[in-house]
Amino acid sequence: MPSFTDVISGVGAFAQDVQQIIDALKGTAGKGVPLSPTAVNDASNFALAVRNNDAGASKALIAYKADGSVLLQVDKNGVVASPDGAVAAGTLVTTASTQTLTNKTLDSNANTLTVRNAALAADVARANQLVNGGFETWQRGNGPFTATGAYTADRWQMFLTGTDTQSISKNTANVDTGSQACAACTFVLGNGAGASELVQVLKASDGYQLAGRTVTFSIRVRTATANAVRLGCYDGTTSTLSPTYHTGGGTYETLTLTYAVPASAPYLQLEIHFAASCTAYLDNAMLVPGSVAADYVPLPPADELARCLRYYETIGGVSGQLLTVGAGTGATAAEFAFMYSRKAVTPTITQSAAANFFIRQGGGNIAFTTFSAYSTGATATIVSESGAAGLTTNAALLLTAANASATLSAEANP
């Protein structure tokens, strides 16, 4: 058979690195015997199999083009081809900086690597289906929130069972990496037997498309109490609890729960359960389709706030602040427009005590006693104020905050 020429230096490979292969092919004395072409027509044999015993290098093959550049390189990292190199479909093409993946295929043109969900790593970014997963937005205030059924951080609702008690507040001193805020939960176990929880509900009627899909819920939790915090979910029929609790090691750990949502599920309730008295910090929750958890990826602040405003919006909270404009409807009454971001459903309109507001007319402040809202829609309502004195019909009026307790809110919880 024709003789072979030793490999010259190139692409970090030297002759001695592959000399054992060359010696075998050339039939060097004591190194092997010449190989003859072999015809293979069955699925269990190869025409040529080469093993490099150097696990640190494992350079098996380099094919050069006429100009000396690499056409094809096979080493411990996989197969690397030049742009015009042909790689068979189903071959994983990698570089030295990438990791080998399981459950992967290439399309028929060998250009696109398809990775199944089961092979994704947690740091592969995917869209979060939760609102305010980072516990950054607290439009109702910083707490503490203690009543069962109360919303705490936006979209996160607290439920207490039996004689359990809990206090939840915004916290900036015990956050997870990169976070600006977390939920600090001080829980005291009564007879609730681990059923008290902080939840977020995703409803099909609100546009969520999770029915019939497998999803994975994850959250970062920090507590020094073992077996105190774990995850659960409820689909309207079936309740599922994770068997794994936080270890109580006093550092942030990732808790996960994978669940196959029934096709008929009207909603999916994601739950953080409290089973022992503890102080726990919750941060960076994610819900993604598929069986693999995803690391938390924050949205830009404006985008996250926009998601929260779909369900709750409040104006006011600053003394002297202009809230909205309207007109007098008589000597003692006026109407004002309250416009807000589009809500998930027709919202409930709430105004703090009338004593916290002024109607401003002609540069003067006029107090009133009662209010009501009507013609409420997904984007606006009319707020009627009455019990004032000296208003001018059809005169332009301002509604202002007499103190920092003045708030006007629109809340829509589908």
Q: In CATH, what number is assigned to the domain containing residue 216? A: 2.60.120.260
| pLDDT winner (highest mean) among 37-51, 54-68, 236-250 | 236-250
Kindly state whether residues 275 and 188 are assigned to the same domain. Answer: yes
**Residue 285 in this model has a pLDDT that exceeds 50:** yes
Are 341 and 309 in contact, with CB atoms under 8 Å apart?
yes
Element (H, E) at 292: none
- Same domain? 288 vs 320: no
Quick check: is 12 in a domain? no
Q: From residue 51, how far is each of 20, 31, 54 by CA, in Å?
A: 10, 14, 9
- For residues 296 and 172, state if they share a domain: yes
- Residue 335, token pair as written in the block: 């109407």
**Domain membership flag for residue 87:** no
Quick check: 42 pLDDT over 90?
no
Give the per-residue pLDDT at 170.
Answer: 98
The CATH number of whichever domain residue 348 belongs to comes to: 2.60.40
3-state secondary structure of 214: strand
Q: What is the pLDDT of residue 113?
A: 55
* Cα distance between residue 91 and residue 113, in whole Å: 9
pLDDT at 68 over 80: no
* Residue with the larger pLDDT of the pair 194 and 58: 194
For residue range 387-400, what is the model confidence (pLDDT) as tens digits? 999 999 999 999 99
Instruction: Looking at mean pLDDT, say which of 18-32, 40-54, 109-123, 282-296 comes out highest.
Output: 282-296
Indicate whether 339 and 240 sit together in one domain: no
Provide the mean pLDDT of the chain.
Answer: 85
Residues 1-13: tens digit of each pLDDT = 444 455 444 444 4
Same domain, 336 and 270: no
Verify that 217 and 276 share a domain, yes or no.
yes
Domain count, the chain: 2
Q: Given this model, what pLDDT does residue 27 score?
A: 65
pLDDT of residue 135 exceeding 50, the answer is yes
Judge if 296 and 361 occupy the same domain.
Answer: no
pLDDT the model gives residue 96: 41
The answer on 167 and 280 residing in a single domain is yes
Same domain? 360 vs 390? yes
Which of 267, 300, 333 delimits the end of a domain? 300
Flag the least confident range among 196-200, 204-208, 249-253, 348-352: 204-208
Q: How many CA atoms lie within 13 A of 232 on its CB side?
A: 19
Alpha helices by DSSP H, 53-149: none
Q: Look at residue 112 in the predicted model and tell me its pLDDT.
A: 54
Which is more confidently placed, 37 or 404?
404
Res 102 pLDDT > 60:
no
pLDDT at 403: 97
pTM: 0.72
Q: How confident is the model at residue 302 (pLDDT cuts 50, 70, 90)?
A: very high
pLDDT at position 25, please?
65
Work out the pLDDT band at 69, boundaries 50, 70, 90.
Answer: confident
pLDDT at res. 61: 77
On the question of pLDDT at 239 being above 80, the answer is: yes
What average pLDDT does range 30-56 have in this prediction? Answer: 66
One domain for residues 286 and 364? no
User: Cα–chain-centroid distance for residue 47?
Assistant: 49
What is the pLDDT confidence band of residue 118, given thresholds at 50, 70 and 90?
Answer: low
Is 203 within the bounds of a domain?
yes
196 and 244 inside one domain: yes
Closest CA to 203 of 270, 132, 128: 270
Strand runs labelled E in 116-213: 157-159, 165-171, 182-188, 196-203
Residue range 400-404: mean pLDDT, rounded: 97
Task: Decide which of 266, 300, 334 is a domain's last residue.
Answer: 300
Domain boundary among 265, 300, 335: 300
92 within some domain? no
Q: What is the pLDDT of residue 64?
A: 80
Question: Mean pLDDT across the stretch 239-246?
Answer: 96
pLDDT (0 to 100) of residue 63: 78
Q: 179 is in which domain, residue-wise? A: 157-300
- Whether 85 shows a pLDDT value over 90: the answer reads no
In a domain, 27, yes or no: no
The DSSP 8-state label assigned to residue 90 in this structure reads T
**173 or 77: whose pLDDT is higher?**
173
Q: Look at 33-42, 54-63, 226-235, 243-252 and tell me which has the smallest mean pLDDT.
A: 33-42
Which residue from 78, 80, 76, 79 is spatially nearest to 56, judged by alpha carbons?
76
Residue 120 lies in a domain: no
Q: Please tell me whether residues 183 and 207 are part of one structural domain.
A: yes
Span 247-274, average pLDDT = 96
Q: Is the pLDDT of residue 412 over 80?
A: yes
| Residue 224 counted as domain residue | yes
Judged against a pLDDT cut of 90, whether residue 160 lies above it is answered with: yes
Average pLDDT of the segment spanning 82-93: 49
Residues whose CB is less than 8 angstroms from the CB of residue 335 and which lie 6 or more positions away in sequence, other chains included: 326, 327, 329, 382, 383, 384, 385
**Is residue 343 in some structural domain?**
yes
Provide the pLDDT for residue 32.
56
